[in-house]
């Protein structure tokens, strides 16, 4: 459930292999000074629900709801994500929620949805999030069935820039898909859901997580992996932007696994050769063979099609 989430998007198969390690209740303060990834102390103001005027609902998810809200003192408009502790405990995702807070409150990039702060009471946890006025990118994809190459390339360039920033902070997302992306008032993309993300200074992980259609081969084979899993997911995402569905989507999970392992990609005729080349350079079975984020930005398909502020 993102800052402008909706319950109407179909639920994709997910893998829940993360263990429950910590409780949200561990901190008794509603918010406090925090260290960012470089060890710098960031002062955080304490909030409570009475600080906000609550507006219309923006969406709902498994653990709660998202509302448009206004901070009374400043008049600042935000998305207030309200999670029910009972649902979090019932589903054993306390560690996932804590990690989402720790990571997203420290990320500041134009294409990453900002989590300004968080607070909680006896029953609920509240995320104060940047309001993405155009809502879910997934809804736009459903409406148009697929994006034209100029739109898709623009989104991919913005995502590449965002991931250059995230990876420099040692953050691996691990669950990029249209449902986890929002659009700002100006149409810029915002990465919104960091529930499966991890801050991994060692950059070697083995947890199997994410969404079935987007899983890279190394996760399927239970091998250690690093930030290159995000490159694979960006390749899947680009294909879905241009075609309307993921490349390895099948009737059964077994068939999907098989197609992923074989990197069995079929392209429709309307895609340009440059678009196909861009996708295939990301969907490499060997992680070290995948195009880098900087190479994405320099690829001829991006240079030809992506809109920039100056264009």
**What is the rounded end-to-end Cα distance, in angstroms, of the chain?**
33
Of the candidates 245, 250, 246, the residue with the CA atom closest to the CA atom of residue 232: 246
Question: Any known ligand binding at 192?
Answer: no
pLDDT at position 113 is 95
Instruction: Judge if pTM exceeds 0.85.
Output: no
Question: Any known ligand binding at 266?
Answer: no
pLDDT at position 77 is 97
By annotation, the residues acting in catalysis are 175
Spatial separation of the C-alpha atoms in residues 232 and 290, rounded to whole Å: 8
Of the candidates 46, 6, 7, 15, the residue with the CA atom closest to the CA atom of residue 195: 15
What is the β-pairing status of strands 189-191 and 181-183?
antiparallel
Cβ pair 158, 188 in contact under 8 A: yes
Cβ pair 296, 164 in contact under 8 A: no
Question: Any known ligand binding at 193?
Answer: yes
Question: Any known ligand binding at 131?
Answer: yes
Residue partners of 75: CB distance under 8 A and separation at least 6: none
Q: Is 275 helix (H, G, I), strand (E, B) or coil?
A: helix
What is the β-pairing status of strands 52-60 and 124-129?
unpaired
Q: List per-residue pLDDT tens for the chain, 311 residues long.
A: 455 443 344 444 333 333 222 333 333 333 444 444 443 434 456 899 999 999 999 988 778 899 999 999 999 999 999 999 999 999 888 888 998 899 999 999 999 999 999 999 999 999 999 999 999 999 999 999 999 999 999 999 999 999 999 999 999 888 889 989 999 999 999 998 876 666 555 444 344 445 788 889 988 888 777 889 999 999 999 999 999 999 999 889 899 999 999 999 999 999 999 999 999 999 999 999 999 999 999 999 999 999 975 44
């Amino acid at each position: 459930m993102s800052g402008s989430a909706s319950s109407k998007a179909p639920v994709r198969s997910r893998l829940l292999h993360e263990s429950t390690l910590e409780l949200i209740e561990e901190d008794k303060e509603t918010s406090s000074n925090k260290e960012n990834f470089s060890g710098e102390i960031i002062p955080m103001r304490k909030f409570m629900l009475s600080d906000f005027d609550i507006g219309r609902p923006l969406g709902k998810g498994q653990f709660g709801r998202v509302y448009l809200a206004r901070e009374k003192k400043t008049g600042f408009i935000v998305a207030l994500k309200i999670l029910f502790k009972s649902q979090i405990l019932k589903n054993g995702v306390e560690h996932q929620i804590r990690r989402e807070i720790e990571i997203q409150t420290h990320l500041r990039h134009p294409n990453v949805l900002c989590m300004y702060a968080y607070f909680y009471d006896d029953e609920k946890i509240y995320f104060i999030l940047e309001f993405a006025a155009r809502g879910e990118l997934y809804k736009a994809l459903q409406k148009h069935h697929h994006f034209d190459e100029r739109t898709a390339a623009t989104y991919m360039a913005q995502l590449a820039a965002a991931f250059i920033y995230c990876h420099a902070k040692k953050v691996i997302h691990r669950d990029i898909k249209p449902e986890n992306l929002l659009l700002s008032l100006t149409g810029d993309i915002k990465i919104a859901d960091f529930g499966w993300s991890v801050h991994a200074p060692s950059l070697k992980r083995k947890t199997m997580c994410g969404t079935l259609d987007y899983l890279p081969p190394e996760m399927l084979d239970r091998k250690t992996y690093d930030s290159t899993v995000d490159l694979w997911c960006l390749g899947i995402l680009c294909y879905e932007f241009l075609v309307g569905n993921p490349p390895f989507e099948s009737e059964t999970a077994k068939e999907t696994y098989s197609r992923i392992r074989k990197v069995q990609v079929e392209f429709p005729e309307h895609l340009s050769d440059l678009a196909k080349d861009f996708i295939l350079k990301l969907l490499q079975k060997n992680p070290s063979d995948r195009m880098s984020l900087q190479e994405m930005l320099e690829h001829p398909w991006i240079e030809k099609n992506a809109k920039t502020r100056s264009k």
